[in-house]
Amino acid sequence: MPAFTTSLINQLSANLKRIHGFGVRKIAVTALQPLGCLPILTAFSSYQNCSESWNTASKFHNQKLQQAIQRMNNESGKHMYETLDLYTAFMSKLNTARLAGNLKLRSFLMPCCVGVTSNYSCGNVDKNGAKTYVVCEKPELSVFWDMVHPAQNGWHQVYSSLKSSLHRLY
């Protein structure tokens, strides 16, 4: 995984420099969210716990990304590349929910839309066109829409955490 991550960040850096070469003055790149908290991985603990090994992978990726962004800004002599820290934003909301006790960890990590069996996923239909998935009663309260994508509420919570730092982008 470290070799793949390094290769990925090197290619991303080259792509960002190329985009800048087209005339884009300010470029924001999102860091990885805590992958270990995605429902596809928390399902193994009945949506009770995030996978620390996958979160470690996210942290490693984000550290390499931040180093690359810092290096590119130093090389250019300008602050033209910025990182949006989705990891910290997601974990902040998760930790706030834990401490406040107003949102059970299980409900935070559960998806709203799931397949009716393990053979199906959100949005699937059978050969007759019938839905093979169910949607939770209150999607507006869900943090995750399906096994990997945040719901509108989840993105709103992340945005709330990032809002105060977004001024750096303009």
User: DSSP assignment of the chain, as one string?
Assistant: -HHHHHHHHHHHHHHHHHHHHTT---EEEEPPP-GGGSHHHHGGGTTS---HHHHHHHHHHHHHHHHHHHHHHHHHTS--EEEE-HHHHHHHHHHHHHHH-SS-HHHHHSBSEEESSTT--TT-B-TTS-B-EEE-S-GGG-SBSSSSSB-HHHHHHHHHHHGGGGGGG-
Which CATH number is 115's domain given? 3.40.50.1110
Amino acid 100: pLDDT:
60
67 contacts: CB under 8 Å, gap ≥ 6: none
Amino acid 33: pLDDT:
95
H/E/C letters for each residue in 49-64?
A: CCCHHHHHHHHHHHHH
pLDDT tens sequence for the chain (170 residues) = 889 999 999 999 999 999 999 999 999 999 999 999 999 999 999 888 899 999 999 999 999 999 999 999 999 988 899 999 999 999 988 877 666 655 555 578 899 999 999 899 999 999 999 999 999 998 888 889 999 999 998 899 899 989 888 887 77
Number of domains composing the chain? 1
Amino acid 164: pLDDT:
86
Structural domain harbouring 156: 2-169
Amino acid 105: pLDDT:
54
Amino acid 94: pLDDT:
80
